[in-house]
Chain A
Amino acid sequence: MVKDKLAQSVMLGLCLFSILMVVTIAVGLYLKSSPVLENKSLWSLLSSSEWRPMKGEFGFFPFIIGTVWVTVLAIAMAFPISLFTAIYLTEYAKSHVKKFVFPALDILAGLPSVIYGVWGVLVIVPWISNRFAPHFVDFSSGYTILAAGIVLGIMVIPLLVSLFIEVFSSVPMELREASLALGATRWQTTHKVVLRKTLSGVAAATVLAVSRAMGETIAVLMVCGCVIGIPKSILDPGYPIPALIANNYGEMLSMPLYESALMFAALILFAVVLVFNLLSRIILYRLEKTQQ
């Protein structure tokens, strides 16, 4: 009994510690970014496109747009591929196929992001520059929003597939059989029953993947071009927030307010992920309520 209570208290402590870490990070980022917030208005920081650290001008708009572009592209690419891969693996594939595919997915998920970055530089960037972009523009270096989107999308796929598989596997077999027994085909069963039943789970998994995609740094940094400016198309280079922080962290100490500005960039990222998660939870909660 005493041991049980002790174990419970220890685990509660560890649980609180994890939550405290999140709060500590938020408070730390806020304190560190307060100098730049005292000098500039929040609106001008978020909406301005001027980025001249030497002159103390910090406009984050191009970086926010860069992050949104890359994330949207990555998820738009990864979502359908992951969804249908997971549907195939849970609803159609035989066990010998699963035996081969699951470890492959685990390997993909475990690869360090720098490897995806190198692969992007060696394969995707030249492909965009030489094959894809010439159809649309006169010149593109290949280091573009599109390259970052593709590399990030491919990075997210293993995570999204395994989350979807988990979600679809939670549907009881009896439910599928109830549909099949009425004369439904497997596909009808999948999209009318399995997907309907797991709608909230699919949405939750996607939110998780979006959060992950927003924060990805190294691979994106290597292929996005890192040019400050608002991209007009996916064939323009971009500069997402994580890349900005990682690229400039070394030189920030030499300029006043620079450190604070970069910490503010991290705070934006933190806030966007937090708000996105909260919003999706509210939507999911309402969705589940209407389904019940």
Chain B
Amino acid sequence: MAIEIQHLNVYIKENQILKDICLTLPEKQITCIIGPSGCGKSTLLRTINRLIDSTEHVRLEGKVLVDGKDIIGSGHEITELRRKIGLVSQRPCPLPMSIFDNVAYGCRINRMYKKHRQLIYNVQKQLQAVGLWDEVRGRVRTSATRLSIGQQQRLCLARSLAVEPEYILADEATSALDPISSKTIEDLFVSLKSQYSIIMVTHTLHQALRIADNVVFMYLGEVVESGPARQIFEQPQQELTRKYLSGIFS
């Protein structure tokens, strides 16, 4: 199921951060959200998994339908929603525990497996999925902070995948990485899109060009234009989008 956003307004105190957002984020595709700094990309992402709740004085209006259910409002089970929507943040954030425990963390929290053997199998599977298994094999019980930044980010992705999400949110997931690690993550997202719906905030237009199936362009809290990546990059309908893509402002 896709994520459907209907007339979403987000206010923090008296400031309106997101203005009347209407969007459909298609499933099993990569949707890149682009736009200049402060345009509300990350706020939109944080609203989808309700991490925005930890911001004080926040007020949400409108609807965000995940699997057809509106997640705005108090009736929704937020922990279950977050399990369903994985997050890879800008800076890799390994938890203060071993590589194994990092990947197993979400499974343990959500009591996914009764047998330890199943947990071990899942951890190994996810580490293989992100191409980290061969690099950390034999030292999965050592601290995750000893990994390189690129490895840490892949570990965070494995950690998100371990709880079997349906969606993956990536908030500038490659901006803190070197070009090689960045390319590895990009390739991973492309390989994962057949199984997950990926929504990615990016600052890098080239990245969006390389991997996006769909693009959403935001400016000052509003969605200016959205649609298939090819259409947005080759024939943008809006003057603002054209200016942004041609680098007149950033």
Question: Which residues of A pack against B, CB within 8 Å?
Answer: 94-95, 172-185, 188, 192-193, 196-197, 291-292
Residue contact B51 to A179, C-beta cutoff 8 Å = no
Nearest-Cβ distance from residue A139 to partner chain B, whole angstroms: 52
Residue of B nearest to A179 (CB): B95
Q: Which residues of chain A are within 8 angstroms of B51 by Cβ–Cβ distance?
A: 177, 180-181
A95 to B79, CA, bound (A): 24
Nearest-Cβ distance from residue A172 to partner chain B, whole angstroms: 7
Q: Which residues of chain B are within 8 angstroms of A178 by Cβ–Cβ distance?
A: 87, 89, 93, 95, 156, 159
Asked if B96 is at the interface (CB within 8 A of a chain A CB), the reply is yes
**What class of interface size applies to chain B in its complex with A?**
20 to 34
Residue contact A183 to B109, C-beta cutoff 8 Å = yes
Interface-central residue, B54, B93, B145, B159, by most chain A CB under 10 Å: B93
Nearest-Cβ distance from residue B24 to partner chain A, whole angstroms: 23
Asked if A182 meets B106 with Cβ closer than 8 Å, knowing A174-B89, A291-B96, the reply is yes
Q: Which residues of chain B are within 8 angstroms of A176 by Cβ–Cβ distance?
A: 54
Residue contact B56 to A175, C-beta cutoff 8 Å = no
Asked if B91 is at the interface (CB within 8 A of a chain A CB), the reply is yes
Given contacts A173-B54, A181-B51, could you give 18 more A-B pairs where the C-beta distance is less than 8 Å?
A: A95-B56, A172-B93, A175-B95, A177-B93, A178-B89, A180-B51, A180-B82, A182-B82, A182-B83, A182-B105, A182-B106, A182-B159, A182-B160, A182-B163, A184-B79, A184-B109, A185-B79, A292-B145
Q: Which residues of chain A are within 8 angstroms of B96 by Cβ–Cβ distance?
A: 175, 193, 196-197, 291
Nearest-Cβ distance from residue A117 to partner chain B, whole angstroms: 40
Q: Which residues of chain B are within 8 angstroms of A95 by Cβ–Cβ distance?
A: 56
Q: Can you list 25 A-B pairs with a CB-CB distance of less than 8 A?
A: A172-B93, A174-B91, A174-B93, A176-B54, A177-B51, A177-B89, A178-B87, A178-B89, A178-B95, A178-B159, A182-B86, A182-B106, A182-B159, A183-B106, A183-B109, A188-B109, A192-B95, A192-B105, A193-B95, A193-B96, A196-B95, A196-B96, A291-B96, A292-B143, A292-B145
